[in-house]
Amino acid sequence: MRLDGKIALITGAARGQGAAAARRFAEEGARVMLTDVLDDQGKELAAELGAEYCHLDVSNEDEWAEAVAFTISTFGDISVLVNNAGVLHFSALTDTTLADYQRVIGINQVGTFLGMRAVVESMTRAGGGSIVNVSSVEGLGGMPYLVAYTASKFAIRGMTKVAAMELGQHGIRVNSVHPGAINTPMVGEALGRPVDISPIGKKVALRRVGQPEDVANVVLFLASSESAYCTGAEFVVDGGATATHALS
């Protein structure tokens, strides 16, 4: 039981990478608070896992306060936070509206900031903890048509390092995870139609698209005491996509 005694709050946990992390956490003994805006799916998964569910729009400061308070009253002080919730938006720089840009920044970047800030007091009382911020390979390098998404994921990478430096004295570790092409509904929803991303897998060293479980296992490692001396670092889960460069 790698997370025995841990109390974890996971955002965007109703499906995809967040749901996979919730499953792994529950399997390893954590008490898990799933949060999302997809209430029906979130409640169903929570019931299946023996976990709890709380509605949370991560861009809303008041809802963060409510989610943290509910987690503490239900389980006790939080020892793990997984900032997983995020959205994707495709458009050329010149076609990206301010509203679209701010929506992505509000969820991906501001949501991560609010989450980290919201759990510090509780984690400090608990004697320390682990914050895992889900960034992306777009937090390591740019990609055309993803100006807002890339900006938000670079910001998460930077905020992670600042938080690690500030919170280490309280025993709180902060790391970022950088998934590549993972088989989740995100790309299809951003484009408004189902998308087969399997051809992308042929471009990476491992010759396959990643699965949510591939990311969840890295998140689990960072949540556990096995990563006790890891903080302020980037953990890439991309099948080798960032092992090369454009000229290859």
Query: 165 falls in which pLDDT band (50, 70, 90)?
Result: very high
Question: In the structure encoding, which two tokens stand for residue 148, read together?
Answer: 């807002």
Nearest in space to 136 (alpha carbons), one of 122, 115, 153, 148: 153
Burial of 248 (0-12, 13-18, 19+ CB in 10 A): exposed
The pLDDT value recorded for residue 191 is 80
Lowest mean pLDDT, pick from 85-89, 158-162, 181-185: 181-185
Nearest in space to 13 (alpha carbons), one of 216, 154, 237: 216
Contact yes or no for 221/175 (Cβ under 8 A): no
The pLDDT value recorded for residue 246 is 85
Return the domain boundaries, the chain: 7-243
pTM for the model: 0.96
149 catalytic? Reply is yes
Instruction: Give me the residues paired with residue 177 across strands.
Output: 134, 235
Q: How many residues does the chain have?
A: 248
Segment 75-86 shows an average pLDDT of 98
Q: Which fold has domain 7-243?
A: Rossmann fold (3.40.50)
Active site residue: 53, 101, 145, 149, which one? 149
Note the pLDDT tens digit of each residue in 94-110: 999 999 999 999 999 99
